[in-house]
Amino acid sequence: MRRGFSRVLAGCIVALLTGPEALAQSARTTRVSVATGGAQASGTGVYGSDDPAISANGRFVAFTSSATNLTPNDTNGVADVFVHDRQTGATSRVSMVTGGGEANGPSYDPSISGDGRYVAFTSEATNLIAGDTNGAWDVFVRDRGSWPRDFEGDRVSDVTVFRPSSGIWYQLRSSTGSGYGVPWGMNGDVPAPGDYDGDGQADAPVFRPSTGTWFILLSTTESGVGVPWGVADDVPVPADYDGDGKTDVAVWRPSTGVWYIIRSTTNTAVGISWGVTGDIPVPADFDGDGHAEPTVFRPSTGTWYQLRRLTGGVGVTWGQSGDVPLAGDYDGDGKADPTVFRASTGTWYELRSTTSAGFGVTWGTANDIPIVGDYDGDGKMDPTVFRPSSNTWYQLRSTTGLGYGVVWGATGDLPQ
């Protein structure tokens, strides 16, 4: 019954799009039940692909498919729910276990939020969450997360600099290609971008070491809030530590190795001892459970120490003294990958979670500043550097494997 109804509804959608009104607007039909890159669905199963739902902005289309070639490693043999990005051409599977595992039962009937971040669906799977023992179909919601440095909510990172001399954030918006300036901060502030109100758009916050205060300009209200949290020598480490989709105000204290976090779910503080003097903090969600882990990179040994919520401490040796540690999802599986940029050779070394194998790519020079961001919106971070000598951003985009350069910034700017 579910499948038959979906097919009738899809037929109605096609009829509406091919009516006279659509023709008057130069209507055209495109196929969205395709893999990233455009390969058609393998067509296995009786129904192929159906149950379409489109986001309010028309960019994202969620659908059900029994095809096995829309995303890598689809081996569960049942129908899954996918989302296709009409802007970038990327297709991702959303009927997944938190952490990246496949559903052990079929999933149907997707519904997608206006901005494309949240997808609701029904599923017979019993492993999507812990403790699912009712033996019945359930309704689930997948949070596809917010993008780093995405200040307009289009799921593409925006080229952005903070100018200490004027306290202005200069953003090159990906949706329009036009510049946008936001005065927020002053000389000496440390920029700490993140989505503090959970609306899918990065906010422009700064940490002021002289007073130990965070000043956050929230995109939902376009108003600022001040949060006293930290001391002069603390390192700001904003991340979503409690898994509610909001960035938490947090600092790491090098003198004691303690993380001080204000959890947004409860507005309560927690202190966690993790790291020693000389470590470099690199918080990220390395196990795909939706929570950022307090993590440090130890240059003396080239070791990453992650404090995982479910399994405890994990040590991973990846890098050497002098490397710049970064954390981003470079293979698109929902887990951050330990990554270092080796300035001496201009090489990025990624330890990819999908294969547990290393990947190296030369992109940059000795004085470049490495940046984590997804500038083509395909769900994979792109190796990117900012070159202060020319104020040029060089992106190695994962969708095409080609380089892209854009001049944005001025001498003394801090790339975000």
- Decide if pLDDT at 45 tops 60: no
CA–CA dist 54, 391 (Å, integer) = 39
| Token duo for residue 366 | 């000795």
Query: Which class for 350: exposed (0-12), middle (13-18), buried (19 or more C-beta within 10 A)?
Result: buried
Q: In this predicted model, what pLDDT tens digit does every residue of 200-219 receive, in sequence order? A: 899 999 999 999 999 999 99
What's the pLDDT score for residue 43?
Answer: 66
- Residue 25's pLDDT is 53
Question: Does the structure show a pLDDT above 70 at 1?
Answer: no
Q: At CB < 8 A and 24+ separation, what contacts does 296-304 make?
A: 296/252, 296/257, 297/323, 297/325, 297/338, 297/340, 299/323, 304/338
Q: CA-based Rg of the chain, rounded to a whole angstrom?
A: 22
Contact of 219 with 205, CB cutoff 8 Å: no
Residue 15 is predicted with a pLDDT of 27
What's the mean pLDDT when you consider all of the chain? 90
Instruction: Give the global pTM.
Output: 0.80
What number of other Cβ atoms are within 10 A of residue 56's Cβ? 11
The confidence score (pLDDT) of residue 143 equals 85
Of 392, 393, 324, 317, residue with least CA distance to 358: 317
| pLDDT computed for residue 133 by the predictor | 95
Closest CA to 223 of 260, 165, 172, 182: 182
Tell me, what's the pLDDT at 289?
85
In the DSSP assignment, the letter for residue 38 is S
**pLDDT confidence of residue 57:** 84
**Is a pLDDT exceeding 70 seen at residue 238?**
yes
Rounded CA separation 108/81 (Å): 6
Cα–Cα distance, 190 to 202 (Å, whole number): 16
Report which secondary-structure segment, H or E, holds 405: strand 403-407
Query: Running DSSP on this structure, what letter comes out for residue 23?
Result: H
- In angstroms, the CA 297 to CA 317 distance is 9
**Paired strand residues for 395:** 384, 404
Alpha-carbon distance of 150 to 325, in angstroms, equals 21
Residues β-bridged to residue 179: 172
Q: Taking 90 as the threshold, does the pLDDT of residue 349 lie above it?
A: yes
Q: What is the pLDDT of residues 76-97, one digit of tens each?
A: 999 999 999 888 788 889 999 8
How far is it, in rounded angstroms, from Cα 242 to Cα 292? Answer: 8
- In whole angstroms, give the CA distance from residue 296 to residue 256: 13
> How confident is the model over 262-316, as pLDDT tens digits?
999 999 999 999 999 999 999 999 988 889 999 999 999 999 999 998 899 999 9
Residue 330 has pLDDT above 70, yes or no: yes
pLDDT band (50, 70, 90) for residue 145: confident
Q: To the nearest whole percent, how much of the chain has pLDDT over 90? A: 75
Mean pLDDT of 166-174: 96
Q: Give the type of residue at 396.
A: L
Inter-CA distances, 72 with 42, 67, 355, 405, 406, Å: 13, 11, 12, 29, 31
Tell which residue, 337, 160, 151, 308, has the closest CA to residue 241: 308
Rounded Cα distance, 336 and 333, in Å: 8
